[in-house]
Amino acid sequence: MNCLQSWPEPVVRVQYLSESGMRAIPDRYIKPPRDRPTLKPGSEINQDVDIPVVDLQNLFNKDRALQEETLRRISSACIDWGFFQAVNHGVSHELMRRTREVWREFFNLPVEVKQEYANTPSTYEGYGSRLGVEKGAILDWSDYFFLHYMPVSLRNQSKWPSQPSSCRELVSEYGAEVVKLCGRLLKAMSKNLGLKEDYLQNAFGGENIGACLRVNFYPKCPQPDLTLGLSSHSDPGGMTILLPDHDVAGLQVRKNDKWITVKPVPNAFIVNVGDQIQVLSNAVYKSVEHRVIVNSEKDRVSLAFFYNPKSDLLIEPAKELVSEDRPALYNPMTFDEYRLYIRTKGPCGKAQVESLKSNR
């Protein structure tokens, strides 16, 4: 594991490149032509397809019909898209706004202040500018801050930003609310899969789930057509709750070999299925590839909250979803082992979950 102790090359902050006023981005950020965004950011916004919007208001309504309608919508979104925007999700809009804004302020602090939190690939905690440790890799146009929220044993607030002064408190409060939302969504997904309502939560380790927050910062880019803010990947964990920026789009979801730019609905969360739910559901739900485009006009902040299985539990297809006709598609693996791949190689589409396929 020595390769995960330090970065293979000196770390360059993308914010620094962006603010230097350079007109041409360094070669390290130029993607091969097949990976570049084809349309100018913003111009696809008039597209007529988008990921579904699901209103969670009636998820636990006493009225069975209303509840079932909500469950059906979640089910189709998970099956058809692996992604949806959730509204009426129960998390305070004010808390969402304040938490996003405190992170924007953090990223607007001088690079030297953030440098105190510089991370290493051993845990990724702190201020970072790349995923993966492959020497010579083409990099993404973003900086980020990564922190552990759960389990409590890994939550170390001294590794969270001390300024702005409300940052730690807001992250604690925000995390608690989002964890509750994740519990509700896992119940809904379990029911929709025909499993006991606690199945997924228990498979994730009950109370002992893992959760982390990656705050992504995508600085303005002078040549947005040549690069990506975040390369195509599926999320390795269980489920992701993304709080996107309120007025600048960037997230693209892959649908039938096309990239769909998500138009953020005000106060919505973007929910997506991760690789671990693909494995547990024996591919009834699939994690879907997504990526981020950047632009020359506005920087963008997003908060990705990853809700994950306890890191040392074996994750494998639910017995209830395995039959002679539909054998287990994946070999069991712990999330600890699983996430080493992205931590080493960086984002690689869906190559990883494919590599778990059992050979029968």
Among 11-19, 152-160, 172-180, 244-252, which window interacts with ligand OGA (CB under 6 A)?
A: 244-252
| Contact partner at residue 216 from Ni ion, ligand OGA, none, CB < 5 to 8 Å by partner kind | ligand OGA
The phi, psi pair for 299, rounded to 5°, reads -80, 170
- Cα–Cα dist 152/212, whole Å: 11
| CB 218 within 8 Å of CB 239 | no
- How many other C-beta atoms are found inside a 10 Å radius of the C-beta of residue 40? 12
Give yes or no for residue 235 binding ligand OGA (CB under 6 A).
yes
Between 123 and 232, CB nearer to Ni ion: 232
Between 269 and 330, CB nearer to ligand OGA: 269
The count of residues in the chain is: 360
Between 132 and 328, CB nearer to Ni ion: 132
> Which residues 205-234 are close enough to bind ligand OGA by CB under 6 A?
214, 216, 230
Between 235 and 245, CB nearer to Ni ion: 235
Peptide bond into 32 cis (omega under 30): no
Out of 37, 82, 175, 250, name the contact with ligand OGA by CB under 6 A: 250
Give yes or no for residue 304 binding ligand OGA (CB under 6 A).
yes
- How many other C-beta atoms are found inside a 10 Å radius of the C-beta of residue 320? 12
Q: DSSP for 148-160, please give it.
A: EEESGGG--GGGS
Among 45-53, 78-86, 243-251, 319-327, which window interacts with ligand OGA (CB under 6 A)?
A: 243-251
Out of 150, 188, 242, 293, name the contact with ligand OGA by CB under 6 A: 242
Name beta bridge partners: 128: 144
- Cα–Cα dist 272/242, whole Å: 8
| Contact partner at residue 292 from Ni ion, ligand OGA, none, CB < 5 to 8 Å by partner kind | ligand OGA
Q: How far is the CB of 251 from Ni ion (least distance, A)?
A: 8
Between 215 and 283, CB nearer to ligand OGA: 215
- Nearest CA-CA partner of 335 in 274, 276, 273, 272: 276
Q: How far is the CB of 46 from ligand OGA (least distance, A)?
A: 20
Q: Is residue 119 within a helix (H) or strand (E), and if so which, with residue range?
A: none
